[in-house]
Amino acid sequence: MKRLLLSALLLFSTLAHAEDDYSFRVAYGQVTKNDFLEILVGQIQPHRYDLKVLAFDGGYLLKHNTFDLPLDLYAKAGVAHFDERGLQDDIYEGTLYLKLYWNIDFLDNRARLGLGEGGSYTTDILYAEYLEAIEKNGKNSKYLNYLDVSVDLDVGKLVDYEPLKGTSVGFALKHRSGIYGLINNVRRGGSNYYTIYLEKNF
């Protein structure tokens, strides 16, 4: 894992720092048994199965300083590989979503809070979602609503190193759900994966 993040950091540092209209993110993490709201308040407990995810997302800046506030709006698309640890065949995901970043500048540093909303399609039913549906008498679907919640810090500004400015390290939550039955009648059967990531604006 450390080698993966170091390699990604070195790759990002070589990307040209142009207008910052584009972004690229690599994230790695695992499933949790907690629901969405529990995770937002810091309650993260391991799932009984050590299921992993590796995800890549690319984005394009649609609007800088949206509503004259420090809010950047991106259109994003991503792919992910879910390691099902031999419980079933590994699964792949495609996501398409809009993401809003709230930029918080302080002491020559920048932190960002991000919220993304869109859709997620998987090649099969994730094992964590299958278990969730069984335990709570729910349904499953390959297509579900997708939320991406994140917090990060600009590494280049933190260490005052120009080639790394626009490179952020942070935590993100990948959330799939049926929004209490609004999507494909899925009330239970979603999943939550918490990840660490590197993201580069270029």
Q: What is the number of structural domains in the chain?
A: 1
Contacts of 106 (CB under 8 A, 6+ apart): none
Say how far apart CA 26 and CA 54 lie, in whole Å: 7
**Ranges of the chain with pLDDT below 70:** 1-19
Dihedral over alpha carbons 40, 45, 46, 47 (to 10 degrees): -80
pTM value is 0.87
Domain that holds residue 164: 2-201
Q: Which two tokens mark 58?
A: 């690319």
- pLDDT, one tens digit per residue, over 40-93 is 777 888 889 999 999 999 999 999 999 999 999 999 999 999 999 999 999 999
| CATH number of the domain within which 111 lies | 2.40.160.20
> Which ranges constitute the DSSP H helices of the chain?
2-14, 36-40, 127-135, 155-159
